[in-house]
Amino acid sequence: MTAYPLLVVTAVAAEAEAVRAGADPDHVVVEPVGVGPAAAAAGTARLLATGRFRAVISAGIAGGFAGRAPVGATVLGARSIAADLGAESPGGFLPIEELGFGTSVVHADPLLFKGLTAALPDAVAGDVLTLATVTGTAATADALAARFPRAVAEAMEGFGVAVAAAGLPFAELRTISNPIGPRDRAAWRLKDAFAALSTASAALWTACG
């Protein structure tokens, strides 16, 4: 195996299988690390501690914001944002930056992001939100869309993976299985999202190399 391959982490095994179906196994290592930012951070840190990897990508399926990322689209995160990291207040949500406790935003590595956008020219680029609780109402979807006008998708792991990367080149890649808002599992297009994830994964090593 290549001494310094690309690490791609997913939340669950089904996502990892979809990535492996398209990725170059000689250069790309794919591992599921668990659901949610904490599990994703811990699992990614454990894998990166081996010192084998030169870059890491958080990949998987996601919900897309209506009018920004349609179902079936591939999304590239220019920034991964911990959208629920902060505090409630009578005036609304206060992000951690306003509390003086750090940052809720991690930018994708510029060169890796440039390579991904070149390799996936049809992908929708924008912010990807990380949430520990998946959005399930129209009111929450509308509030998030208003707070984050550049957000195109929400998932549960990207920010955790980005923090664990600790300076290694990082990016987030998602394919859209459902619109963000009221949960209607019957309307989700998981098969299409997994197929899109496999197709996008074929470009990963080219973008990183």
Token pair recorded at residue 147: 């707070």
Cα–Cα dist 209/192, whole Å? 27
> Is residue 10's pLDDT more than 80?
yes
What was the pLDDT predicted at 155?
98
pLDDT tens per residue, range 123-182: 999 999 999 999 999 999 999 999 999 999 999 999 999 999 998 999 999 999 999 999
The label of the residue with tokens 């904490």 reads 38
Higher pLDDT, 2 or 158: 158
User: Of all residues in the chain, what percent carry a pLDDT higher than 70?
Assistant: 98
User: Of all residues in the chain, what percent carry a pLDDT higher than 90?
Assistant: 88
The predicted model gives 115-119 an average pLDDT of 95
Cα–Cα dist 205/184, whole Å? 35
* Cα 40 to Cα 36, 46, 118, distances in angstroms: 6, 10, 27
What was the pLDDT predicted at 3?
47
Assessment of whether the complete model's pTM goes beyond 0.75: yes
Cα–Cα dist 109/112, whole Å? 5
pLDDT tens per residue, range 56-77: 999 999 999 999 999 999 999 9
